Amino acid sequence: MVSLYSMTGFGAAQNKSNGTVVKVEIKSLNGKIADARMRIPSRIKDREIEIKNLVISRAIRGKLDLSIDVLINGLAESYQINEHLVEAYFSSLSRLSKKLDISGGDLMQTIMRLPNVVALQEDSVDDQEWQMIRKTILSALDQLMEFRKREGQSLFKELKSRVQSIMETLAQVDRLEAERMLRIKQKLSRGLDAISDHIKIDQNRYEQELIYYMEKLDITEEKVRLKEHCSYFVQLLHDDTPEKGRKLGFLSQEIGREINTLGSKAQFAPLQRLVIDMKDELEKIKEQSLNVL
């Protein structure tokens, strides 16, 4: 069962009850940490921290944008008219109109534009309405994770294919090893022959230095470690843990170190070409690992 999740995704849900409609949308993009930005009605501002913790606990990581709309009888917000203030405004304006002997016109239209006549009703939601909102948020998060999982299946196939490509290329290194070491020895011998007419060579010392030099160019350990890192990378892809993007990123860095060391020790064109091929695959692995949750 593939449990690789993409960092990007989208989820939406909606619930209706007794004239109240709750709509929730959430989208996520790549991010090193969980960063939740929310647009929520003022009536549930007191639940903001609770909502944020709920989103982060389910979405785990990424740049998260959450939008919640609560419509009551088709309206996003509830308003109330300050009747006492309307009466006071009407009384004062009527008296002033008579005193100045001017037409009062449409006083109600004027009054409704005055400050504090119409105010936003900011009563908090009751427990039943909150449970409805919470349920809708969880449904949207489920949709988000399902979207991420579908995207993760494509990432899984690509990452596994590219790591296996590196391992297949590494297998070709073994077939070049004998010829590589022979070429290096021949190169050293030609250099030594060029100066042997002018300098007396201690053959025993030469053999010791040659052994030491060849050991410095030995790539056995790098091949073993590279193979182990690649095998662990594939194992991690199959792991049940949803959050593994960071581990894959760290592991790709270790793979890169071994490939770079192979390249620095190569001194053999066919091997260097294989190293370039592995580096090309690794860059694509690093790029795609950034998309993994």
- Give the domains, in start order, of the chain with CATH numbers: 9-75+125-148 (3.30.230.40), 83-116 (no CATH), 150-289 (no CATH)
| Residue of 185 and 24 predicted with greater confidence | 24
pLDDT of 118 over the 60 cut = no
Average pLDDT, the chain: 80
Residues paired with residue 10 on neighbouring β-strands, in sequence order: 27
The mean pLDDT of 160-184, rounded to a whole number, is 82
Sheet bearing 34-39, strands edge to edge: 9-17, 20-29, 62-72, 34-39
- What's the pTM? 0.71
Give the contacts of 159 (CB within 8 A, at least 6 positions apart).
4, 233, 237, 248, 285, 288, 289, 292
Q: Which of 127-141, 185-199, 216-230 has the lowest mean pLDDT?
A: 185-199
pLDDT of 202 over the 80 cut = no
| Residue of 222 and 140 predicted with greater confidence | 140
The number of beta carbons lying within 10 Å of the beta carbon of residue 146 is 13
Question: What's residue 181's pLDDT?
Answer: 67
pLDDT of 7 over the 70 cut = yes
Percent residues over pLDDT 70 in the chain: 70
Question: What's residue 105's pLDDT?
Answer: 61
